[in-house]
A and B are shown apart, each in its own frame.
Chain A
Amino acid sequence: MHIVVSIKQVPDSAQIRVHPVTNTIMRQGVPTIINPYDLFALEEALRLRDAYGGEVTVLTMGPPMAEDCLRKALGYGADRAVLLTDRYFAGSDTLATSFALSQAIAKIGEMFGPPDVVFTGKQTIDGDTAQVGPGIAKRLDLFQLTYVAKIASIDLAAREITVERRCEGGTQKLKSRLPCLITMLEGTNEMRRGSIEDALCAARSRIVKWSAAEAGIEDLTKCGLRGSPTVVKRVFAPTPRSQKAVQIDTAEKTLRDLADELIGAIFTRQPALEPELAFEAA
């Protein structure tokens, strides 16, 4: 089977800093990583390939530097990598992103065989919208399976797939048809370490690089800023809370006294809580 995994290179958000004056992201020294959620999708794809045979193609749209994340994916064992990069894509919102990616996936289908499953992560940690996956599904007319916790079975002959999907208040078991788009839930698997052969192979494979034109995208008005209905008008830092926590003084007190004092402080601030808690506790 042919599986396409869409991954994104993101700045490690734990290390992001904001310029105090201009409120812009200071990227200097901020390492980039593969969007952590996408690793679950990639690992799942590799497992399917190992079980059913076939190939995994990883795809990303981003600046030339995004090649790093593709190479990494190859090192984990992906078979092919495509980088979609063009200044026309700059400033894309989710609608424009899903347009460009879906066009690239169509092109991948033409060149390397139509995909049976397209994977995306649940969401990114920078955009954090969880919209690009559903957007791609809609544009390519793929059946959409989001928040998938487990792929229970795939029947390649019957083109059927059964998955467990996380939803509010429980888990749904769904049966659908291939080709489909799956957004994979986090924590469902653990990324493997490629063997030395995988690593050597990855280091040497060529990354397919496509501009908009090379990906067969004709309508540039649907790309980048021009193709983005949303407009970011203002970026600002959250207002810090003006007051710091009131500290309970711990000097020379027994733990018991401290605990009583803390509880006293809690109930002084939230008097209504005490009867509620007493009721709950009973």
Chain B
Amino acid sequence: MSSANPETPRPPAGRAGMKKELPERFRDYRHVWVFIELERGQVHPVSFELLGEGRKLADKLGVQLAGAVLGPPGEATQNAVAEAFAYGADLVYLVEAPLLADYRNEPFAKAMTDLVDTYKPEILLLGATTLGRDLAGSVATTLLTGLTADCTELDVDADGSLAATRPTFGGSLLCTIYTLNYRPQMATVRPRVMPMPQRADRAIGRVIAHKLSLAEDEIVTKVLGFLPDSQSGTANLAYADVVVAGGLGLGGAENLQLVKSLARAIGAEFGCSRPLVQKGWMPADRQIGQTGKTIRPKLYIAAGISGAIQHRVGVEGADLIVAINTDPNAPIFDFAHLGIVTDAVRFLPALIEAFTRRLSPHSRDKLAS
């Protein structure tokens, strides 16, 4: 991805790597790796999504799929290893060290680069989470290889190169990026962009353990504390099954209550478009879209949201998108599945009431019988 201004004319000669001429030293790089993101005892679901994607790539290339697990000695790490196999890994590279208890860039970057240098994968995938992005940038720079961020599609083309497709210019365009002559080919993918694969209990396969050659006193950065979001009421939008969101069309901060009430009535998470965050009506972690969260719920209800491209890219993966907007020409109707042209401020109370009626215990019993 071009980071400099693409408008400037490109020098005519000396283009590196437009053709595939893989240097000798990279010829023995093989297999597809997925970094298994383990933090505070939990594997981030994006790692499983990536295993699903990695499986397809590995099968196409006829190579193995490996998980790279970095964590402190103990049950959580062992569990992460087991989960990697359950989601399709053929083998796992494991670095177990007390230093890897909490995420810090220094030990994780060291462990990951060591693993790559030693075992030479051709493809390395990471989740585009705060952790994954922090790590991927350092690792790629140390290895002097290419890294394609926030991919929405991964494929292997005829000559075995990774074709990584990602949005650019705020989602107005897509581009397909290759790292032809460097290894590994690195890519990050945002949570919820790839579908979650089926989990299947499987025996733990081959685990290759690697030692981390770093001591705590060599690490400058120390973790002083951690405040989980559960204690600060922060949303888990990315993994919610149903999401209700409001936009500027709701008119004022007071009308956001309608969105929250609807969310409560149907057990959904609530979110918003960016301007509401900018106005301070909602906290930043409720923002949905390019610069907020990508969501992939079964049902997404958008009230008073115009559907700008930056919002669209964050919600397109939803199974069913319902849009409520007064403007029949609002762009959101171009990608929503169900639309209703009406004033959301007046309609939402009726919708809340109707949902409550329909989902009431009485009608639920009817449904059960």
Contacts and interface: CB of A to CB of B under 8 A. Distances in A.
Interface stretch (A75-83, A141-149, A200-208): A141-149
A228 B147 CA distance: 10
Contacts of B138: 134-135, 137-138, 144
Contact of B340 (A169, A176, A247, A256): A247
A231 B180 contact: yes
B339 to A, nearest CB: 3
Given A124-B3, A248-B339, A95 B322 contact: no
Interface majority SS (helix, strand, loop, mixed), chain B: mixed
Interface residues of B, number: 120
A185 to B, nearest CB: 8
Interface stretch (A43-51, A105-113, A191-199, A274-282): A274-282
Given A66-B5, A128-B168, A88 B354 contact: no
B210 to A, nearest CB: 21
Given A94-B3, A134-B134, A255 B364 contact: no
Q: Which of A96, A125, A134, A138 has the most CB of B within 10 A?
A: A134
Interface stretch (B55-63, B89-97, B170-178, B195-203): B170-178
Contacts of A62: 4-5
A176 B220 contact: yes
Contacts of A221: 16
Interface in A247-282: 247-248, 250, 255-256, 258-260, 262-263, 265-266, 269-270, 272-282
Contacts, number: 363
Contact of A88 (B11, B104, B142): B11
A127 B320 CA distance: 30
Interface of B: 1-11, 14-18, 37, 39-40, 42, 44, 102-106, 109, 129-131, 133-134, 136-138, 140-142, 144-150, 163, 167-182, 220-230, 232, 234, 241-242, 265-268, 277, 284, 290-291, 298-299, 308, 310, 319-323, 328, 332-342, 346-347, 349-351, 353-356, 358-359, 361, 364, 367
The 4 nearest A-B residue pairs measured at CB: A280-B267, A134-B137, A13-B170, A245-B339
Given A129-B150, A175-B221, A176-B221, 12 more contacts: A95-B146, A125-B291, A167-B131, A168-B37, A170-B229, A175-B222, A230-B147, A247-B340, A269-B337, A273-B298, A274-B367, A281-B266
